[in-house]
Structure 1
Amino acid sequence: MLLWEIFRTFVIIGTVSFGGGYAMIPVIEQEVTAHGWMTTSEFTDIIAIAGMSPGPIATNSAIFVGFKTAGIGGAIVAALGMILPSLTIILFISFFFTKANKHKIVQSAFYGLRPVIVGLIIYAAIKFGISNELFHSFSFQTLASLCIFLGALLALIKYKIHPAIVIVFSGIIGAVLY
């Protein structure tokens, strides 16, 4: 029964979520906490691990949630639940996309989805910042976190430094400062 609930939950998430893994994080977090499988704090830790692991963050987080909730079987059904909708939709769309992509309505729908996806990603970042008490009070750690964030953003956008290098240096700076 639990395995079926995990599978069903991740099939729904995989079906209705658009915009990639980071845009799915708020939806996954809502479902995971609503089912009582873990707290927001525990889920935040899962996202940190999933983000550092190779592969898509949404699928990785689903696997970690499934494993924490129901062991290996939970990890397998969570992964299948997350992957099957996308696979099915992509196979279906691939047959029609080249023709449909030229239609004004389809192009307009994609343009309409873009700001929503950006909003979901920003919401996820703010929610995790709040749940980890990065914005709770102004302290040295808050200032240091803000400086690391701005430095990483600058390195990525202006200097086009590879994200892996930015992650490594941010981790080293964090280890030294904290």
Structure 2
Amino acid sequence: MNLLIWLLFWSFFKIGLLSFGGGYAMLPIIESEVARYEWMSGNAYAQTVALVSLAPGPLAANMAVSVGYHTAGIAGSAAAMAGFVTPSILLIVLIVVISQRFANKELDSFYYGIRPVIVAFVFYGAFRMAQSTPLLHSSPADMAITWIIAAAAYLSFSRFHLHPLLVLSGSGVAGWLLFQ
């Protein structure tokens, strides 16, 4: 097997095994692996995150496919995706076996301990994404527009419960119209 293909599999296997909290919480870990092996530039990575956020399906799985394809074509996509999902399948089987043997109180306590870490990962991912946004280093007017779009997106989710695809599409159109 090609060394690059194996490296993609192993990197995304580790990400799938050691990451909790969904795609956005995994972004800093994926970014770390991408930077470590220089598979993409920082700008290409940020653009990939933006594009993958618009695609249906789990963000982290879509990132695995995108990074794999960018790095080694279809074989890279297959290897990264296989590496990413294998730990989840193994962990689900293990959790089912364990949950049948232990009381729910022990598992609930474990999950309560993990939740704050997941929140920290999500905030860290958002912070890293904000740092790589060129508009944060632009004029005050552009920054104001950026914050207005972010606030509108937040309200769309939290207050009006709009579908994420609608909010992402609307934000993309607003950015396209306002920043041409």
TM-score (norm: length of structure 1): 0.92
Counterpart position of 1:4: 6
CA 144–84 in structure 1, closer or farther in 2 if over 3 Å, else same = same
Q: Conserved in 1, the CA contact under 8 Å of 2:54 and 2:168?
A: no
Shift of 1:91: 1.7
Q: Conserved in 2, the CA contact under 8 Å of 1:101 and 1:107?
A: no
The correspondence for 1:93, drawn from 73, 95, 99, is 95
What root-mean-square deviation, in Å, do the aligned CA atoms of Structure 1 and Structure 2 show? 1.5
Could you tell me how far apart the structure 1 residues matched to 2:141 and 2:15 are? 38
Runs of 4+ that moved beyond 6 A: none
Counterpart position of 1:40: 42
Total equivalences in the alignment: 177
Shift of 1:133: 2.5
Letter in 2 for 1:108: S
Per-residue CA deviations over 1:56-86 (Å, capped at 9, x if unaligned) read 1101111111111111111100000001100
Q: Conserved in 2, the CA contact under 8 Å of 1:10 and 1:78?
A: yes
Shift of 1:31: 0.8
Q: Does residue 1:157 correspond to 2:158, yes or no?
A: yes
Structure 2 gaps, min length 5: none
Counterpart position of 1:116: 117
Q: Which has the higher contact order (CA 8 A, sep 6+)?
A: 2
Could you tell me how far apart the structure 2 residues matched to 1:101 and 1:2 are? 43
Share of identical aligned residues, percent?
A: 37
Alignment of structure 1 residues 13-28 onto 2, 5 Å: 13-28=15-30
Alignment of structure 1 residues 55-94 onto 2, 5 Å: 55-94=57-96
Letter in 1 for 2:14: I
Could you tell me how far apart the structure 1 residues matched to 2:29 and 2:157 are? 27
Counterpart position of 1:131: 132
Could you tell me how far apart the structure 2 residues matched to 1:170 and 1:145 are? 10
Q: Conserved in 2, the CA contact under 8 Å of 1:13 and 1:27?
A: yes
Shift of 1:40: 1.9
Shift of 1:138: 4.8
Letter in 2 for 1:113: I
CA 111–134 in structure 1, closer or farther in 2 if over 3 Å, else same = farther
TM-score (norm: length of structure 2): 0.91
